[in-house]
Amino acid sequence: MMKPLLCFSNKKLTLNTIFSSQVYSFSVIIFLIKFWAKYYLVRIASFLRHRKNGFSVPLDNNTTQGQHTRSNSKLKEVNMNRVSKEQIARIGVGIGWGLVLMGIFISLGKYIIPSSWYTTIMTPLYGAEYVNDHMPKSADRTLEDFSHRVVGVLYLVIGMLQFSKKFQTRFRKLHKYLGRVWVLVTIVLGLTGISIAIFVPFGGIGELIATVIFAGYMVFAVIMGWRTAIQKKFKLHRDWMFRAVMIGFGFSTIRFAFMAINFLSPSTPDRDILTVCFWIGWGLQAVVAEWWIYYSARNTAKGGITPRTLEQQDEDSKPMAA
């Protein structure tokens, strides 16, 4: 009799029983990744090509040259910075919603599809050792596991909506109330993540330290975002909320890093790989968040807009959480 390869939720899977479903699942995943990557690579290439050639600056025919406070070259530079920022933001939003769908499936897939299918799909993202050993132990702590999954989905969906300018403009009151909900959801997400890392450890002390540091930082960032919103310092409010959402989206970077390292070094134990990936994923997300905040502030300064001016303009808009 063939030895079971995977075991999850008391259902045994052999190579013969999972081969067809595994190939099908991998084919679907690879197709979606290729389609998604091709679409955004085309957009990135188009953006870089236009940036190299320079962006056109629309001028008002009714305005004379003497009425401009900046030279044509300065206007072109400011317009290029503005367009490039918008292009990068659009690409980031598209990638973000793709990661939201991925997070929803990872969180709720075990409740929607058969456990054998879920196990087969999760193995490349987490490793067989994690799926077979850690997930059943985690599921035994029903309160933390279920809460972490549900609030994780709310965190992803509300977080993406809160950073949508169209959503902020059309639904200002809802934006404000959802911001308060998102603050609470983020705190619960961070605390349940720390609880699981303490009571159901997988990667040992390395994973625990990384989880405590970055989950704690996420909770701190969202509290600071809420506090600055109350103080009507909306520029700082957006920066802190952006830090919080970037740390939360680190789950995706961790999974992609795991697949890459596991492919390059298949003999390394899953526990060791995943521990390293926790530091790589969350650390990279934190660095990218700080880079984007710095990049946005620099382009704002080049456009002749000071942070104080932004705060005055934001008086007409509703904060994310107040």
For 73, the token pair is 């070259």
For 278, the token pair is 């926790």
The average pLDDT across 219-223 equals 95
The average pLDDT across 279-283 equals 92
Q: How far is CA 316 from the centre of its chain?
A: 28
Tokens 């991998």 correspond to: 26
For residue 96, give the nearest of 249, 222, 253 by alpha carbon.
249
Angle value at C-alpha 191, between 189 and 197, nearest 5 degrees: 100
In whole angstroms, what is the distance from residue 28 CA to residue 19 CA? 14
Print burial letters for 283-307: b (CB count within 10 Å at least 16), e (below 16).
Answer: bebbeebeebbeebeebbeebeeee
Q: Which of 79-93, 134-148, 255-269, 298-312 has the lowest mean pLDDT?
A: 298-312
Q: Which of 23-27, 162-166, 237-241, 254-258 has the lowest mean pLDDT?
A: 23-27
Q: How far is CA 82 from the centre of its chain?
A: 23
Return the pLDDT at 100. Answer: 85
The average pLDDT across 215-226 equals 95
3-state secondary structure at position 73: helix
Q: How many CA atoms, within 13 angstroms, populate the side-chain half-sphere of residue 51?
A: 15
Q: How many CA atoms, within 13 angstroms, populate the side-chain half-sphere of residue 27?
A: 6
63-74 per-position pLDDT tens digit: 454 544 444 554
In whole angstroms, what is the distance from residue 286 CA to residue 102 CA? 20
Query: What is the domain partition of the chain in residue ranges?
Result: 15-55+72-316
In whole angstroms, what is the distance from residue 70 CA to residue 74 CA? 6
Return the pLDDT at 70. Answer: 47
Sign (positive/negative) of CA torsion 84, 284, 119, 190?
A: negative
Question: Which of 75-84, 246-255, 313-322 shows the highest mean pLDDT?
Answer: 246-255
Return the pLDDT at 132. Answer: 84
**What's the DSSP call for residue 134?**
I
3-state secondary structure at position 188: helix
| 27 or 162, which is more confident | 162
131, 8 contact by CB (below 8 A): yes
Beta bridge partners of 7: 12
> What rounded mean pLDDT belongs to the chain?
74
Beta bridge partners of 12: 7
Taking each continuous run of H as one helix and of E as one strand, the counts in the chain are 13, 2
Amino acid identity of residue 286, one-letter, is A
The average pLDDT across 27-40 equals 53
In whole angstroms, what is the distance from residue 314 CA to residue 229 CA? 11
Amino acid identity of residue 162, one-letter, is Q
In whole angstroms, what is the distance from residue 144 CA to residue 195 CA? 7
Using the predicted structure, report yes or no on whether residue 146 has a pLDDT greater than 60. yes
| 112 or 94, which is more confident | 112
Burial of 83 (0-12, 13-18, 19+ CB in 10 A): middle
**What's the DSSP call for residue 4?**
P
199, 140 contact by CB (below 8 A): no
Return the pLDDT at 55. Answer: 46
Using the predicted structure, report yes or no on whether residue 310 has a pLDDT greater than 60. no
